[in-house]
Amino acid sequence: MTPFPSKLRDFLAHWYSVPLLLACWEIVSHSGWVQPRLVPSLMLIGQIFWRDLLSGVLIHHTTVTLYRALGGFLMAVVAGCTLGAAMARNRTIDALFEPIFSFGFPIPRIALYPVFIFIFGLGDASKIALVFLEGMFVITLHTYQGIRAVPNTMVWAGSSMGANSRQLFWRVLLPAALPMIFTGFRIALPVALIIVVSTEIIGESVGLGYYIQFASASFDDAKSLAGIAAVAIIGFALDRALIWLRNRAVFWQPEAVALG
């Protein structure tokens, strides 16, 4: 068993930048170089965060944001993995969709938000649809590249042992492509949160984006930063959960991502 001081030393070596950044923020806040309203102290931000957390206000806005982000993300996982695998395995499907992804990938999906508002309205549907579209591009391409990058020797080995096409896909191609697919998940998940918070700033009355925008419009920078801190904490927790899942799904890979 690793001694506790050694674990603590490893933890500090991995995460020292976070307390260092917070310490710099606190020094600037009390230095008098800038107005305290612009760079409020961490104590004040923490007090507001805790107050709104206990009152249920922050939980309410967080629940709405998570519903929108995870709803669109999970839909993108299903559609992106299915389409990416189909493109990788079928030349006709690849020829049909590859030009669409090549032309469409550089387009910022957030620019389509006014169109989505016109079609779905300002509620949940437009935000979930935008998250779905953004995530599907990323996940589809990573699934496609992951399957196409599987060495032919692995496929030949499976075929020589009598595996049919379905068995080759589920027992050879998909497991070998999982590291790349999870990379797509780790990119798409925080982007989903970014898109939802960004769209909630526009014409909304609920969600963390609205919480941040309303506080900023009220010149309550500490409350606005408390909302930003909530987004950061949620994003970090979701990423850690995804890494945990990845390390168990890709257990055979020695360089599995460390949780820190």
Instruction: Dump pLDDT digits (tens) for 118-152.
Output: 899 888 999 999 999 999 999 999 999 999 998 88
Mean pLDDT of 227-247: 93
* 3-state percent breakdown (helix, strand, coil) of the chain, nearest 5: 80, 0, 20
| Confidence category of residue 159, pLDDT binned at 50, 70, 90 | confident
Percent of the chain with pLDDT over 90: 52
- Rounded Cα distance between 40 and 43, Å, is 8
Q: What is the pLDDT of residue 64?
A: 95
What value, to the nearest 5°, has the Cα angle with vertex 95 and ends 170 and 165?
A: 20
Q: What is the mean pLDDT of the chain?
A: 87
| CATH 3.40.190.10 is right for the domain spanning 42-249 | no
